[in-house]
Amino acid sequence: MAATFFGEVVKAPCRAGTEDEEEEEEEEGRREMPEDREVRQQLARKREVRLLRRQTKTSLEVSLLEKYPCSKFIIAIGNNAVAFLSSFVMNSGVWEEVGCAKLWNEWCRTADTTHLSSTEAFCGFYHLKSNPSVFGSCPRKNMQITILTCRHVTDYKTLESTGSLPSPFLKALKTQNFKDPACCPLLEQPNIVHDLPAAVLSYCQVWKIPAILYLCYTDVMKLDLITVEAFKPILSTRSLKSLVKNIPQSTEILKKLMTTNEIQSNIYT
């Protein structure tokens, strides 16, 4: 509880995130009937992440990495990271779509995975047909993972004001087993990363898989040319150098991607 300037007493949110949960659990203990708990657990059991062959929408019988073992696994999270990967990496060579992932949990608006609309979050897997070492036939032990994502510049903690920072800028975080140098400075304390990129990096750190996260701090979270181009230094790293062929062509492709995605905003539409 906290007293405000105006003399009211309000419930202050607990930074440790315990308050709601504790009350809920206490209330649950008093009011949740075994039937309610059973319903909640049944719903949780319905949660699924399915890997499908894109064209036929049939499930992949074996795990993706078993069917397509690879030595380089690149993950792009968010629209700018995906645009960078599509324009600069996937436009060099022939990439074949090998599958996609669909997921369902209680917070999805549809009934199950088969009816997810195209506007929902999407995850696709592609492999490079010409080079078997990228999503190719090397054993998993030598696998290296690269993750690309963006964050808003106000998330970055620094002594100076974030408004004066030259955004967009790139920072990196790598696991202990990733021995190559990063193409940009490492993320300084006390900055942290959470959500999906953190989950992937945590897994790699714990299980000793070499992985690197390239994080672009930007002040434009929607699809933006300058933000996407901020990822360009990555093209000179050892893992991606061999994958990129034609940069000027990629820049053209990127520009086209921007224009098709631009929504004309007009207060009358």
Binding site for another protein (CB under 8 A): 1-2, 12, 14-19, 21-22, 25, 40, 154, 156-164, 173-176, 186-199, 201-202, 205-207, 213
Nearest-approach distance from CB 214 to another protein, in angstroms: 13
Q: For residue 34, give the 3-state DSSP assignment.
A: helix
Q: Which is nearer to another protein, 45 or 265 (CB)?
A: 45
Q: Which is nearer to another protein, 205 or 251 (CB)?
A: 205
Please check whether residue 52 is in contact with residue 116, taking contact to mean a CB–CB distance below 8 angstroms: no
Nearest-approach distance from CB 227 to another protein, in angstroms: 20
List of residues 6+ apart from 173 with CB closer than 8 A: 186, 187, 193, 201, 212, 213, 215
Q: Which is nearer to another protein, 68 or 178 (CB)?
A: 178
Q: Which is nearer to another protein, 61 or 106 (CB)?
A: 106
Token digits for 229? Answer: 């181009």
Nearest-approach distance from CB 2 to another protein, in angstroms: 8
Nearest-approach distance from CB 103 to another protein, in angstroms: 15
* Other residues' Cβ atoms within 10 Å of the Cβ of residue 146: 22
Q: Which is nearer to another protein, 117 or 161 (CB)?
A: 161
Please check whether residue 57 is in contact with residue 129, taking contact to mean a CB–CB distance below 8 angstroms: no
Q: Which is nearer to another protein, 206 or 267 (CB)?
A: 206
Please check whether residue 210 is in contact with residue 179, taking contact to mean a CB–CB distance below 8 angstroms: yes
d(CA 170, CA 185): 8
d(CA 124, CA 54): 8
Nearest-approach distance from CB 144 to another protein, in angstroms: 15
Place of tokens 């209680």: 106
Amino acid in position 17: G
Nearest-approach distance from CB 33 to another protein, in angstroms: 16
Place of tokens 């990555």: 234
